[in-house]
A = this chain, B = another copy of it.
Amino acid sequence: MKTPFDFYFDFSSPYAYCASTRIDDLAAEFGRTVRWHPILLGPVFKQMGVLPVAQVPIKGSYAMHDFARTAALFDIPYVQPAQFPISTVTAARSMVWIEKNLGEARARQFAHAAYRAYFAGQQDIGNVDVVLALANDIGIDTAELAAGIQQDQIKTALKEQIEAATARGVFGAPFIFVDDEPFWGFDRFDYIRKWLQR
């Protein structure tokens, strides 16, 4: 059994959104599966002393242009969110709760729905009501989810997941480990292919 890819992402990252639409297919090319790990990059950026890319002088406007262009070049639906970047703690905790209670497949389904809503549907997934509505659309009990994301064990599980990620060297998104080899960026997908084809 080959080791699954580990895929780290923040729901507010455009390049991680692009990656989310292709990562399972990329892994499948090599007979692999993917473990999806939502994280929050805010605390990581603080530790590094850097700003989210869209807020860096000069580079920021290029990045905004490159987000939409990258999506277009890879035929991925993209509408620049009006609120950007946003806090994605609710979406991340929701995914943690869904995975623990309903399994990996449902969690992934939720991740796709949340990413699409935010990056192609002009919905602010920083808003808890929006997140609950998205969960409802895919048949998740929203009362249970609303209570679940308030549980200490869920908050702690996400915190530990972020700590484990940074301990492993994750500093951005998407961040992918292939047999402990680290790859940062949607633009590293071809490098992953080359790496596995060596």
Binding site for B on A (CB under 8 A): 44, 47-50, 56-59, 61-62, 65-66, 69-70, 73-74, 166, 169, 171-172, 182, 184-185, 187-188, 190-191, 194-195
Residue pair A191, B59 in contact (C-beta under 8 Å)? no
Residue pair A57, B49 in contact (C-beta under 8 Å)? yes
Contacts of A62 in B (CB 8 A): 169, 171, 182, 184
Residue pair B65, A182 in contact (C-beta under 8 Å)? yes
Which chain B residue lies CB-closest to A182? B62
Q: Nearest chain B CB to A119's CB is how many angstroms away?
A: 18
Contacts of A191 in B (CB 8 A): 69-70, 73, 187
- 8 Å CB contact of A61 from B56, B57, B169: B169
A185 in contact with B187 given A58-B169, A58-B171, A171-B58 (CB within 8 Å): yes
Q: How far is the CA of A101 from the CA of B53 in the complex (A)?
A: 40
Q: Nearest chain B CB to A57's CB is how many angstroms away?
A: 5
Residue pair A171, B65 in contact (C-beta under 8 Å)? no
Contacts of A187 in B (CB 8 A): 185, 187-188, 191
Which chain B residue lies CB-closest to A63? B184
Q: Nearest chain B CB to A39's CB is how many angstroms away?
A: 14
A-B contact pairs, 24 of them (CB 8 A): A44-B58, A48-B57, A48-B58, A48-B59, A49-B56, A49-B57, A50-B56, A58-B166, A58-B169, A58-B171, A59-B171, A59-B172, A62-B169, A62-B171, A62-B182, A62-B184, A66-B184, A69-B191, A69-B195, A70-B191, A74-B194, A185-B187, A187-B187, A187-B191
